[in-house]
Structure 1
Amino acid sequence: MCRRYTRIVTRTMIAIAAASFILGTIHTARADDRPNILWITSEDNGPELGCYNDAYADTPRIDALASRSLRYKRCWSNAPVCAPARTTIVSGMYATSLGAHHMRSAVGLPDAMRLYPLVFRDAGYYTSNNNKTDYNFANPEPGWHDSSRQAHWRGRAENQPFFAVFNFTVSHESKIRNKPHTLVHDPAKAKLPAYHPDTPEVRRDWAQYYDRLTEMDAMVGKVLDDLKADGLDDSTIVFYYGDHGSGMPRSKRWPFDSGLHVPLLVHVPEKFRSVAPENYLPGGMSDRLVAFVDLAPTALSMAGIQPPENMQGVPFAGQFAGEAKPFIFGYRGRMDERIDEVRSCTDGRFVYMKHFYPDRPYLKHVEFMFQTPTTQVWKRMFDEGKLNDAQSKFWQPKPSEELFDLESDPDETVNVAGRPEHADRLRRMRQAMQDWSIETRDLGLLTEAEIHRRSGDQAPRTFGLSPDYDIEQLVQVAYACTDRENPPSLGKLNQWVRSSESGVRYWAVRSFLCRPDDAWKNDASIAKMLEAAMLDDSPSVRVAAAEVAMQMDGPLRQRAPAVLANLADVDNYGQLVPVAALNVLDKYWSELPDDLQKRVEALPEKTKDAPQRVSGYVGRLLKHVQSLP
């Protein structure tokens, strides 16, 4: 491990020196020899566009762009929600490698790490962003010359090449439900996914979503008109993409294909066809698997700039284009106030998903999501027993892993992981997922609170590259301990719960929540193990032990709520540990004694020095428990 870490550091230093030489060379190039690059992005929309064969869509300007661009059949946003998805784009790295895949996580970055706008800027490009940032970094300095609502390529110097981003929010989740709105699309003609109930509320939300896509389409057209009016359309490479799947529930926030699949169009004018993707054909469709982690390296490559060594994406065009990937990957961490951990990958047809909290339902109460009428009526009908199996599934606990065939089941409602004919594919995709976690040093196998506790003053990425982070062992233990079908032996758990690695102890303790049997609930030796774990030096392990103790029979169960109430106090533990504790307390709220409920309800919501981007989550959870019966 030490030699491996030394090699990583050495390669990074060599890459920095090489990049400095390359950038110095680029500065001497004539500006008009380099392409301008324009990214047009829209929020919360998948490929619900005419150019992706959606007959319900009305998107003439994007469709026209597609007729002279290359479309990508399967592009994934890597994360199914905005902040970690944009974090992936701007860094060219998987947000899981940075500890930044949790919503509004505000992590530090290594000092030497440069985000792609700064790389472009150092190469002499004018960089403008109009104007979404929304990165999961504490104090980022991306490198924009202008990041504002007025940002435009027109701010550049004469003959200076530009990299410009225009982002449109009209298709955002919040715009699906805002009123007043006069529908243009006919709700009766909306095609509903199999997991949504067929109600007027659901149909209206889908219709309004498509209305917003039409509005967004016109905004895209306006930027393209400006480009042509300025005489730049023959010297500018244009990308258009959505920032993750639709804002409808079970798309946004979930790493199904429905939450990760986005449209991606790449238009390369004739002048720069030498840097176009392989087999570029205007109006064509590429089967190459690409993802957001590839966008920054690809744009840099098309400008003749070698991507920095730390970037994990593979350029799919330009001077430094790499080989196509057999799989692309997705991830889910904490979504606002709700904790979960999921990984997914696809080969273009099948989607594999690994659930690290199979004991928790897919959809829990997220305040922002519950403002959408579809979410409200969907949950109400579940509580009333009015849903079919496909519709009910997402309010129930999850399997350990899932496999979906997008060809026969595009809505991903039928889990074929247990079918013998798919056994080999399941093994291959599971192994690919594990190999990816190890190769990218996935920090998500520690809890969010533990990432920050273990990293200390270091950036999480720096800690993640160190020998102190044993990712190989964590992958082995996390997969084993969350396997409902083949749980680890009690002997193995006894070994792991005594590990010096806090992440191993965490998954070993939590494994009891994933076991298919109940015999352990009366086991005195397990009660003794949990009693010790509730005193662990890691607060995350204590949360896990108290949650398991809530399932036990005997006095330990009586002690667990008080342990969780203590861990829910932001004055003692900051913001992240209390979020984890409250995620457990609200599950058992009706079983808690009145005095403990009142104690929890009286807890402070945030500390004076709470990070602004996460400071509201404890308050949301406290508000929610007060609404419970």
Structure 2
Amino acid sequence: MTHSRRDAIKLGAIGIGAAAAPLAAVPGSARLPNILWLVSEDNNPYIGAYGDKVAHTPHIDSLAKKGILYRNSYSDAPVCAPSRFAILTGINPESCSPAQHMRADAKLPSQFKTYPELMRQAGYYCINNPKTDYNCDVDPKAIWDVQGIDGHWRNAPKDKPFLCVFNTGTSHEQHVCQRDAGRVKPEDVRIPAFLPDTETTRRDYAEYYNIMENMDGEIGNWLSQLKNDGLDEDTIVFYYGDNGGVLPRSKRYCYEEGLRVPLIVYIPPKWQHLAPARPGSVIDAPVTLIDLPATLLSIAGIAQPAQMTGTALAGHRIGAPKSYAFGFRDRMDERYDLVRTVTDGRWRYIRNYMPHRALGQHVGFEWDVQASYREWNALHLAGKLTDEQDRFFQPKAFEELYDLQADPDEVNNLIDHPAGLTAARRLRTALDRHMLAINDNGFLPEGAKGEGYFESRDRSIYPLKRLMLVAAAAARRDPRNLKRFATLLDSPVVAVRTWAARGLLILGEDARPAKDALARVVASDPADPVRIVAAEALVGLGEPVEAVALLARLADEDNMLPIRIQAYDALSNIGRAAIPALPVIRKAANAQLRRFIDPEYPKRMAMYLVATLEGSYDPTQEGLSPQACQNATKSPNMFMGPPPSAAWES
């Protein structure tokens, strides 16, 4: 039976206050329950309990039978570090830039507390084993009682309840590079309509199902330990994935396979008064992982701080069911994009603010670890894909709308279809309201003045409503906005000038009347992000000399990393016009990096760019060597956190 919530929601939505404060005691709760979080990486619900007939996940299935399964659960971002920032802080990453970018070092305001700090104040002994990857400047050792591979509830004081987080890296994306025989065979899997149905793709899918079975065994081992220690009936157990899966068009992309995650909560009979529904229930209302810290605080009996935007799913005060789950994409490793999305569980609406960029931009690590990406790319270059399969490598529509019931592969865009008009209107409005409510920072160029939770609320630096209008106008590719964009190139606001220049870039040849204005920006604008976008636009209008020279100079090693990435991004998208920059590009491609000290994104971009400009690029020649793959799969926590902040400076 499906329940959207327990028949009577307890006490309404969780209170929002300026600081954590105790709630009224609940009769019968003499002490607090233990809490165990079991976290898997990079996986959709390839799980039997979610209806997957191919999956073999008996331990997670068993947990679901006696727990509560959230059918429409989503990560806030389709990648780990921004998603983990949201879970740690309860703050939308895109409202505390640069936390929304993959692999960054955002500054968490000192007055904001993370959930382990608040839970420790409530009396919990807090353990994290081992992954952090919080995408911000929080010191993990300062917020946890125990941080690292030695953390276990068995080492917790007996006079305190514990909050113990175990992370398994078994399903992380680098493991798909291995080739191990398992229960699931290539002929057993279904290949979605957007992918070519090849032996390579089938092998990757089968490999991933078998990885999921291995991960399920780890979950079962932890649950057995809990039972053997006599703690299973005094411990609330959460199992969830930190972001969507890694198979093609999953991780890093704002479709169901990039954002949808498993979430199962088991609440023992002793603590059923904290549950939102009866054991064995399925909750269909959409939830996101940003609801998790609110849920912990509600279980502990303390109110969530004002900056936390989630809704408690269980505890003393359970929030009313939500109508929508929101998601986003900004920079993913070395590639920039700006995507915002919302779903109600039936429909998914996607807004692409940078539709001139291909959906499937080349991401070095993505291509390295997964053979099906490399083969997909090779078939594209050979012209052997159907239109549906080739869409991944093409510029995007400004808006997308999918009926998830009729079209689970999300290939039939209904944005202009009569059947989708009502849903599109409703979801557009919901997304706009959400972006304004959280103060979405996505329109601010990375590295520009105004980054940060409070800084971005200065409307003289970041006029969000105005920027949303300008960015939407840019993405619509309407030549009637030409004069508007040209005028806005003189705005005193860096972000406005950036989006005005991007509007002209997206217009392409239709922007020719603004060529002189763009040349002026390239020559004299004080903000490098504006100059980079204008330079790319100017190259498209046949004026490459000064523009390419600027991009080469900004891509060189003396500039801040975000500026270098933005310059390389532009160079990657101007085709053979980038050839004069080859000396700089080759220098970066041949650079010897010191791991965890030197940033690797410029080198990745430069290596790819050299190959494409010299005509030698062959995606089938990419990929980890067998030894490198073996080393990667033996190191499930090889990506535990952001690079040192020094890597983001000159």
The aligned counterpart of 2:515 is 527
The aligned counterpart of 2:429 is 431
Shift of 1:207: 0.6
The aligned counterpart of 2:496 is 504
For the 8 Å contact 1:438–1:472, the answer to whether it is kept is yes
Shift of 1:462: 1.8
Partner amino acid for 1:625?
L
Distance 1:560 1:467, change over 3 A: closer
The aligned counterpart of 2:532 is 543
Shift of 1:30: 11
SS at 1:424 equivalent: helix
Task: Work out the number of aligned pairs and report it.
Answer: 593
For 2:81 and 2:167, the matched residues in 1 are separated by 14
For the 8 Å contact 1:176–1:205, the answer to whether it is kept is yes
**Once the two structures are superposed, what CA deviation does each residue of 1:161-206 show, in whole Å capped at 9, x if it has no partner?**
0111111111111111124x22331110111111111111111111
For the 8 Å contact 2:589–2:607, the answer to whether it is kept is no
**Once the two structures are superposed, what CA deviation does each residue of 1:418-474 show, in whole Å capped at 9, x if it has no partner?**
113322321221122121111101111112122xx334xxxx112023343321111
The aligned counterpart of 1:562 is 549
Q: Does 1:242 align with 2:272?
A: no
Partner amino acid for 2:472?
Y
For the 8 Å contact 1:481–1:488, the answer to whether it is kept is no
From 312, 318, 321, the counterpart of 2:318: 321
From 389, 392, 406, the counterpart of 1:391: 389
From 521, 544, 567, the counterpart of 1:581: 567
Shift of 1:343: 0.7
Partner amino acid for 2:56?
D
The aligned counterpart of 1:150 is 150
Distance 1:140 1:604, change over 3 A: farther
Deviates more, 1:115-124 or 1:491-500: 491-500
Partner amino acid for 1:472?
K
Q: Does 1:379 align with 2:377?
A: yes
For the 8 Å contact 1:575–1:614, the answer to whether it is kept is no
From 90, 95, 98, the counterpart of 1:97: 95
The aligned counterpart of 1:446 is 444
TM-score of the aligned structures, taking structure 2 as reference length? 0.87
The aligned counterpart of 1:624 is 608
SS at 1:195 equivalent: coil
Q: Does 1:472 align with 2:465?
A: yes
Q: Does 1:296 align with 2:293?
A: yes
Shift of 1:532: 2.0
For the 8 Å contact 1:276–1:302, the answer to whether it is kept is no
From 349, 354, 358, the counterpart of 2:351: 354
**Once the two structures are superposed, what CA deviation does each residue of 1:104-146 show, in whole Å capped at 9, x if it has no partner?**
1111111101110111111110101111101101343461111
SS at 1:163 equivalent: strand
The aligned counterpart of 1:22 is 22
Shift of 1:520: 2.8
Distance 1:540 1:194, change over 3 A: same
Deviates more, 1:470-479 or 1:100-109: 470-479
For 1:605 and 1:612, the matched residues in 2 are separated by 18
For 2:176 and 2:587, the matched residues in 1 are separated by 35
CA RMSD in angstroms comes to 2.3
Partner amino acid for 2:434?
W
For the 8 Å contact 1:92–1:311, the answer to whether it is kept is yes
For 2:382 and 2:110, the matched residues in 1 are separated by 54
The aligned counterpart of 1:9 is none
Distance 1:435 1:607, change over 3 A: farther
Shift of 1:154: 1.5
Shift of 1:603: 4.9
Distance 1:34 1:519, change over 3 A: closer
Distance 1:390 1:41, change over 3 A: same
Shift of 1:477: 1.3
Partner amino acid for 1:623?
M
The aligned counterpart of 1:7 is none
Deviates more, 1:429-438 or 1:576-585: 429-438
Partner amino acid for 1:543?
I
Distance 1:588 1:134, change over 3 A: same
Distance 1:320 1:467, change over 3 A: farther
Deviates more, 1:73-82 or 1:583-592: 583-592
For 1:611 and 1:189, the matched residues in 2 are separated by 40
**Once the two structures are superposed, what CA deviation does each residue of 1:546-573 show, in whole Å capped at 9, x if it has no partner?**
01011103xx3332111111111231x2
SS at 2:361 equivalent: coil
**Once the two structures are superposed, what CA deviation does each residue of 1:268-298 show, in whole Å capped at 9, x if it has no partner?**
1111111111xx1222211111001111101
For 1:445 and 1:604, the matched residues in 2 are separated by 30
**Once the two structures are superposed, what CA deviation does each residue of 1:73-126 show, in whole Å capped at 9, x if it has no partner?**
101101001111111111111110111010111111111011101111111101
Deviates more, 1:137-146 or 1:339-348: 137-146
For the 8 Å contact 2:552–2:567, the answer to whether it is kept is yes
Distance 1:552 1:409, change over 3 A: same
Partner amino acid for 1:474?
L
For the 8 Å contact 1:194–1:411, the answer to whether it is kept is yes
The aligned counterpart of 2:509 is 518
Deviates more, 1:100-109 or 1:468-477: 468-477
Distance 1:570 1:550, change over 3 A: same
What residue ranges of structure 2 are gaps of 5+ in the alignment?
1-15, 616-650
Partner amino acid for 2:611?
S
**Once the two structures are superposed, what CA deviation does each residue of 1:5-45 show, in whole Å capped at 9, x if it has no partner?**
xxxxxxxxx944x53x539x99x999962111111111111
For 1:605 and 1:463, the matched residues in 2 are separated by 38
For 2:463 and 2:597, the matched residues in 1 are separated by 29
Partner amino acid for 2:389?
Q
For the 8 Å contact 1:85–1:243, the answer to whether it is kept is yes
The aligned counterpart of 1:598 is 583
For 2:480 and 2:87, the matched residues in 1 are separated by 38
For the 8 Å contact 1:546–1:564, the answer to whether it is kept is yes
Q: Work out the percentage of aligned pairs sharing the same amino acid.
A: 37
Shift of 1:353: 0.6
**Once the two structures are superposed, what CA deviation does each residue of 1:300-331 show, in whole Å capped at 9, x if it has no partner?**
11221211111011112222322222211001
Distance 1:71 1:614, change over 3 A: farther
For 2:27 and 2:597, the matched residues in 1 are separated by 42
The aligned counterpart of 2:213 is 214
For 2:227 and 2:95, the matched residues in 1 are separated by 40
Distance 1:392 1:88, change over 3 A: same
SS at 2:264 equivalent: strand
For 1:79 and 1:251, the matched residues in 2 are separated by 11
Partner amino acid for 1:107?
A
Q: Does 1:283 align with 2:280?
A: yes
Distance 1:443 1:140, change over 3 A: farther
For the 8 Å contact 1:570–1:606, the answer to whether it is kept is no
